[in-house]
Amino acid sequence: MYAEPTPDNSFDKYDEMRLHMEQLLSASITDFDIQMRIAIPLDGVGVRRVRDLVRMKREDIFKVNRLGEKAANEIESILDRFGLSLGMDV
């Protein structure tokens, strides 16, 4: 006898999380309420996406002209709200 296939209605939460993380990492840093006084120097060194930013370490922030302790703290605070951090391997 022939059995009719049943549709797969299962939800794969891991794929959903991966897709969400990919969207988050692909977003522009200006979409994350990063102030222009921080975004402009980051753009000058090629950091335009969240993916680029989270790959940086705290020490790398200090190497960017016009960025220091206050900027690093603000960046970490913003990333933390989204479950991200500096120095991530993405």
C-alpha distances (whole Å) from 51 to each of 3, 8, 30, 60, 72 are 47, 33, 13, 14, 16
**Which letter does DSSP use for residue 45 in this model?**
T
* DSSP symbols for 19-33: HHHHHHHHSBGGGGT
Domains of the chain: 18-81 (1.10.150.20)
pLDDT in tens, 20-76: 899 999 999 999 889 999 999 999 999 999 999 999 999 999 999 999 999 999 999
What's the CA gap between 69 and 18, in Å, rounded? 32
Which comes out higher in pLDDT, residue 90 or 77? 77
